Amino acid sequence: MLLTILKSLLVIFVTTILRVLYDTISCYWLTPRRIKKIMEQQGVTGPKPRPLTGNILEISAMVSQSASKDCDSIHHDIVGRLLPHYVAWSKQYGKRFIVWNGTDPRLCLTETELIKELLMKHNGVSGRSWLQQQGTKNFIGRGLLMANGQDWHHQRHLAAPAFTGERLKGYARHMVECTSKLVERLRKEVGEGANEVEIGEEMHKLTADIISRTKFGSSFEKGKELFNHLTVLQRRCAQATRHLCFPGSRFLPSKYNREIKSLKKEVERLLIEIIQSRRDCAEMGRSSTHGDDLLGLLLNEMDIDKNNNNNNNNLQLIMDECKTFFFAGHETTALLLTWTTMLLADNPTWQEKVREEVREVFGRNGLPSVDQLSKLTSVRTFTFQYILYNNF
């Protein structure tokens, strides 16, 4: 009897080892080789990848060299500085070429119509690769940005109600309130003799404050604490991703992996507290729903799915979506605001035009409203003309 059990355990052990070996060989050698061959048959080539690391080392060297010197002037022609490999290899290999992020292929396109077709017809269907999903697993998990196929369509459907026109208008008061506080604080700091302000950092704080309020409502203080943890977690996951091209690296008890595990645990603890608080309010009859912010809408949809015996939408998915929208909404908006502020600072004439238009539309001491935003044409005109001037 004991011998039979040992033989069974041995068979299971050997089968598991063989399965792991096959998956590893398939992921790091067979699949990349198959993709490379298929792309070459279609005439799509690129720089020769190195084993495991692909083109990572070449890209890092080119970026380091291009960014080693300060820009001579402010302009929009920054692709060659930030993506020098994209510029160099598109000239060498054509409008379509492939580069390798470790064992993960990246198809680079320079044709506008093809890019438009990809984004319009195949967004979410083509999906994210294993390497991308592993790199963000501890950060945003399987949220909307990392979902594939039907999961992407399902999650997009869940999140869509939070971004209707009427919902976004309702968030405007939070944006005005947070921005007014920022302006008053900066005005006070400058009045007290501060010569410089790190505007990029201030814009990151502003967008984090706005998203905390619009997504977590009355729990926005915990939302801001969550944001601080997510910011650090983002950096650590990005650093750890560099080693994903080496088999088994994500299982090693390295400093990055230990810190990532600890931060992820703290982030999810905060999210569970916020979610449980919403559920308690609904169960005690204080509210008929979980709220009208993003978190509340997701929880309401989760309850509907649960009643329909749909198990796709669970607690982990809700937490992943919250982390996803925190990251996506905060980073992109902060960069856009910083870039716009920089352009206005570099163009005093347009800065004065925008200032006068704001005073005319909203009044000297008036607060902005959503209905009046369409009347602000100077910022759009300024940005468009500035891009044309610097690129043509």
Question: Would you mind telling me the total number of residues written for the chain in this entry?
Answer: 392
pLDDT of amino acid 389: 45
Taking the C-alpha atoms of residue 100 and residue 242, their distance in angstroms, rounded to an integer, is: 13
Q: How confident is the model at residue 19 (pLDDT cuts 50, 70, 90)?
A: confident
Burial per residue of 43-63, b for 16 or more beta-carbon CB atoms within 10 angstroms, e otherwise: ebbbbebeeebbbbebbeebe
Matching residue, tokens 């910083």: 338
- % of the chain beyond a pLDDT of 70: 83
pLDDT of amino acid 346: 83
pLDDT of amino acid 390: 46
91-100, 295-304, 315-324: range with highest mean pLDDT: 91-100
pLDDT of amino acid 388: 44
pLDDT tens-digit map of 75-122: 777 888 888 999 999 999 988 999 998 888 888 888 888 888 877 776
Mean pLDDT of 9-17: 80
Higher pLDDT, 384 or 94: 94
Q: Given a cut of 70, is residue 26 above it in pLDDT?
A: yes
Mean pLDDT of 261-280: 83
Extract the tokens encoding 54: 């692909």
Matching residue, tokens 């704001």: 358
Q: How confident is the model at residue 383 (pLDDT cuts 50, 70, 90)?
A: low
Q: Given a cut of 80, is residue 125 above it in pLDDT?
A: no
Taking the C-alpha atoms of residue 282 and residue 278, their distance in angstroms, rounded to an integer, is: 6
pLDDT tens-digit map of 168-213: 777 888 888 888 888 888 888 877 666 778 888 888 888 888 887 7
The DSSP call for residue 310 is -
- % of the chain beyond a pLDDT of 90: 6
pLDDT of amino acid 126: 55
User: Which domains are present in the chain?
Assistant: 30-68+75-121 (no CATH), 128-335 (1.10.630.10), 347-392 (no CATH)
Q: What is the mean pLDDT of the chain?
A: 78
**Helix %, strand %, coil % of the chain (to 5):** 70, 5, 25
pLDDT tens-digit map of 338-365: 888 888 888 888 888 888 888 888 876 6
Contact 222, 270 (CB under 8 A): yes
Mean pLDDT of 59-72: 85
Contact 260, 236 (CB under 8 A): yes
Mean pLDDT of 240-263: 74
Taking the C-alpha atoms of residue 62 and residue 83, their distance in angstroms, rounded to an integer, is: 8
Q: Given a cut of 50, is residue 16 above it in pLDDT?
A: yes
Q: In a 10 Å sphere around its CB, with 0-12 CB exposed, 13-18 middle and 19+ buried, how is residue 165 labelled?
A: exposed
Higher pLDDT, 117 or 242: 117
Q: Given a cut of 80, is residue 65 above it in pLDDT?
A: yes
pLDDT of amino acid 45: 92
Taking the C-alpha atoms of residue 271 and residue 268, their distance in angstroms, rounded to an integer, is: 5
Contact 46, 97 (CB under 8 A): yes
Q: How confident is the model at residue 250 (pLDDT cuts 50, 70, 90)?
A: low
Q: Given a cut of 50, is residue 153 above it in pLDDT?
A: yes
Taking the C-alpha atoms of residue 230 and residue 222, their distance in angstroms, rounded to an integer, is: 12
**Where is average pLDDT lowest: 129-133, 194-198, 287-291?**
287-291
H-helix or E-strand spanning residue 367: none
Residue 72's identity, in one-letter code, is D
Q: How confident is the model at residue 312 (pLDDT cuts 50, 70, 90)?
A: very low
pLDDT of amino acid 97: 93
Q: How confident is the model at residue 29 (pLDDT cuts 50, 70, 90)?
A: confident
The DSSP call for residue 371 is G
> DSSP characters for 227-255?
HHHHHHHHHHHHHHHTTTTSTTGGGS--H
Higher pLDDT, 332 or 383: 332
Extract the tokens encoding 390: 């610097």
